Chains A and B, each alone.
Chain A
Amino acid sequence: MHFLPEEASSFAGHVDALYLFLILVTAFFSLLIGTLVVVFAIKYRRRSPDEIATDVHESGALEIIWTVIPFGLTIVMFLWGASVYFRITRPPTNAIDVYVTAKQWMWKLQHADGHREMNELHVPIGQPVRLTMASEDVIHSFYVPAFRFKRDVVPGRFSVAWFQATKPGKYHLFCAEYCGTRHSNMIGWVYAMTPADYQAWLAGGNPGESLAAAGAKRFVENACNTCHGDVPGARGPSLTGLYGHAVHLSNGQTVIADEAYLRESIVNPQAKLVAGYPTIMPTFQGLIGEEGLLQLIAYIKSLSPPAPAGAAASPAPAPTPERKVSRP
């Protein structure tokens, strides 16, 4: 019987190292207290009914010692835990994007190039993968024990998290936030593959339309282009080169246009109004589902150059359905 799941991601080993340290601390103090308690109980057992105990004077020094040492240990554990946490929560910029829609009781995954998967995810090893996740109904949680990866998928927002697989294999995928009747059926597999195998998998099968292409269609269907047409005098701000850059709002603040900002601007446009534009954008809450929102965001991202580490493609001034997202 093994006690640890496989370590199959770049941060699994770091999580396990912290775990083992905490096991040592737990074992040490449990054994210390357990032994002391048993030894004292035996050594000082009552030997006669009238026995009187020795009055032991209290010790401020002892109290301080056994406060300060645990305090110091907890600070070490906190700092170590925080450092592992920073490692886990900072996605690198050269990640490939996978878009996840969770719904009762299945996982729908879509690669940027259009490959769709249900309850399964194929990823290459040695490459960071960024999951942008949305829920169509209740809170779910994407959990891959072998990667030590878990993130709640909360309806009404995007949840973004990343991992990098390091070992080829087939790993459990669980939903880890109770979501109703078939919560324990909402499971699947993550397949980590060597880059060569991954390319072969990509080549096979019909990927269908890329997410960005689907998003481009929705952009026109929902008449977004009538205001965001990227022509002089347009009623809405241009979306070309928008993703990842700063936006100046009408209330004086500046925000970065990330996935969360884009999503909010579609479903609740009044929340962050861009400076210098009329406040006429209607809300699309309830009119565009979570998958549609992911497609639109993928499309808007495609209008910006990808991260500098890698071949940059020139951003197109107008939406073109055939455009692919290039990867470094």
Chain B
Amino acid sequence: MSTPEPVPAVRPPRLDYLNASYGVRSWLLTSDHKRIAILYLITVTFFFAIGGVAAGLVRLELLTPAGDVFQAETYNKIFTTHGIMMVFFFLIPAIPAVLGNFLVPLMIGAKDLAFPRINLLSWYLLAVGGLTALWALIHGGLDTGWTFYTPYSTVYSNGWVVVTAVGIFIAGFSSILTGLNFIVTLHTMRAPGMTWTRMPLFCWGMYATSIIQILGTPVIAITLLLVGAERLFHLGIFDPAQGGDPVLFQHLFWFYSHPAVYIMILPAMAVISELVTAFSRKPIFGYKFIAGSSIAIAALSFLVWGHHMFVSGQSVYAGLVFSVLSFMVAIPSAIKVFNWTATLYKGSVSYETPLLYALGFIGLFTFGGLTGLFLAALGLDIHVHDTYFIVAHFHYIMVGGTIMAYLGGMHYWWPKISGKLYPEYWSRVSAWVIFIGFNLTFFPQFIVGYLGMPRRYHQYPEEFQVLNVMSTAGASILGIGYLIPLIYFIWSMRYGKDAADNPWGATGLEWQTPSPPPTENFAETPVVSGRPYDYATGREDVALG
């Protein structure tokens, strides 16, 4: 007679990428794209916090018309810190390096990116570059603004121009290598059966972003190199006293920095495409148009940089060309908004937090994008250039757009990344707090900008105070709104409920793996057939929780 096998009291835990190995070395020397994504998550959150504190200090000063909180030079260093930290060390890397790194191999059925060790190098470059710049900004201070206009930055400023430029230069290579990695991965490592038109739209967005990263970033790299060389060796490339041209600097700078803003928004749009279809539980409307508009935006983005220079004295004809092209680049974005809206039509819409962020994005991005048309219009831009109208416009896109999409994506894929669920009640509360705080912060800035308040002003005429107080009040609310997810995401890693493999009942290869996935992602390479977002035929495992 045989004895029955004892029933195990506890189910042995699964091996996944988080518990596959322990210790700092296993993280700092990893080649697993998922762990690298987590490293990026920690790094960009840190830089976001620094930039956020700087923003808080700026708004604090602007509560009163007089410059009574900080000395002028200190204030100038603070807004420069805010801009540099947010642009180069948060907005540019965030979605591609955190969500892109984690998801692209999973979404295409691959085991990793094409160059895993270069991926790790990219992270080190961002961390080292960011810490270098941060040290320069805190220790010595830089007061040129994130735009480094010459000859102020090369000849007149007393700030730490060269070290900060070196930090940004290093981080630029992080961006270039990430873009290179994504392009090669998407070209060569898609699973069998996954043609380009079966690829998730998130991947199309990453691809378009990567094109901008590889073509644009080298130009800011060489520009910063020349600024540093001029400052160190008194070369005079941009200094009129030595025959140089300050407007040449502006051309070179904006040749990157305009496409850079599309590096910030294309990934956000890529996230929104995924959220809208998943939470309407139906195929995205106009897949080919959304994919094509991403590529169109990437291409057009390189042709519009002169709209930052309408009052610099460039020729009237140059102004006309840049103006009409700037209007054209708005069209593909409009196409996306219409297609997302059409996706909701006759969908099965569910109000989880990721969808709240997606809807918030659609509203705020539409509004903010339309305010861009004001700036493309030559006659109007002359009045609003370098005022708070501009500040309001770009914050609507970057904060109301990119950050909302980033948070929406983090909430959507958190169960996959951590294997845990975040608390739904608090996540909805914070989404609303963020939405309200954001609008209160930035809407008044449109008004005060048109009234004539210039940007980068540490003191201002009294008649602008009421609108500034509203803006600062909004900023306080927004700050609280950002703290809440930080707290509950960390809380959920220990105390959150375990997540199912596919808690949302969504399509996509990333949901066909366990939550969290094992290191090698897929036990067997998946084979893909059928269209993407294949919801209408129904899914097998839609059980939630």
Question: Are A180 and B157 in contact (CB-based, < 8 A)?
Answer: yes
In the complex, identify which listed stretch (B30-38, B93-101, B364-372) lies at the interface while the others stay far away. B364-372
Indicate if A248 sits at the interface (CB-CB under 8 A): no
In the complex, identify which listed stretch (B341-349, B433-441, B475-483, B488-496) lies at the interface while the others stay far away. B341-349
In the complex, identify which listed stretch (B204-212, B456-464, B517-525) lies at the interface while the others stay far away. B456-464
Contacts of A172 in B (CB 8 A): 452, 461
Given A58-B286, A63-B286, CB of A85 within 8 Å of CB of B378: yes
Indicate if B92 sits at the interface (CB-CB under 8 A): no
In the complex, identify which listed stretch (B179-187, B257-265, B323-331) lies at the interface while the others stay far away. B323-331
Q: Name A38's closest neighbour in chain B (CB-CB).
A: B359
Given A22-B377, A82-B378, A180-B143, CB of A139 within 8 Å of CB of B456: no
Q: Give B343 Cβ to nearest chain A Cβ, in Å.
A: 8
Q: Give A149 Cβ to nearest chain B Cβ, in Å.
A: 8
Q: Name B447's closest neighbour in chain A (CB-CB).
A: A3
Contacts of A2 in B (CB 8 A): 451
Question: Are B376 and A77 in contact (CB-based, < 8 A)?
Answer: yes
CA distance A78 to B304 in the complex (A): 14
Given A33-B362, A172-B461, A176-B385, CB of A81 within 8 Å of CB of B378: yes
Question: Are B451 and A145 in contact (CB-based, < 8 A)?
Answer: yes
CA distance A145 to B447 in the complex (A): 13
Contacts of A143 in B (CB 8 A): 386, 452, 454
CA distance A323 to B326 in the complex (A): 49
Q: Give B232 Cβ to nearest chain A Cβ, in Å.
A: 19
Contacts of B129 in A (CB 8 A): none
CA distance A58 to B339 in the complex (A): 10
Question: Are B76 and A139 in contact (CB-based, < 8 A)?
Answer: no
Q: Say which residue of B240, B338, B355, B376 sits within 8 Å of A81 (CB atoms).
A: B376
Question: Are B379 and A81 in contact (CB-based, < 8 A)?
Answer: yes
Query: A interface vs B, CB < 8 Å?
Result: 1-5, 11, 14-15, 18-19, 22, 25-26, 29-30, 33-34, 36-38, 40-41, 44-47, 49-56, 58, 62-63, 66-67, 70-71, 74-75, 77-78, 80-89, 104, 137-139, 141, 143, 145-146, 148-152, 154-157, 159, 172, 174-185, 268, 285-286
Per-residue A-contact encoding for B286-320, CB less than 8 Å = 1, 0 else: 11010000000000000000000001110010011
Question: Are A71 and B331 in contact (CB-based, < 8 A)?
Answer: yes
Question: Are A63 and B289 in contact (CB-based, < 8 A)?
Answer: yes
CA distance A286 to B143 in the complex (A): 27
Q: Name B293's closest neighbour in chain A (CB-CB).
A: A67
CA distance A54 to B351 in the complex (A): 18
Question: Are B536 and A85 in contact (CB-based, < 8 A)?
Answer: no
Contacts of A154 in B (CB 8 A): 240, 246-247, 312-313
Question: Are B334 and A137 in contact (CB-based, < 8 A)?
Answer: no
Q: Give A120 Cβ to nearest chain B Cβ, in Å.
A: 16
Q: Give B158 Cβ to nearest chain A Cβ, in Å.
A: 9
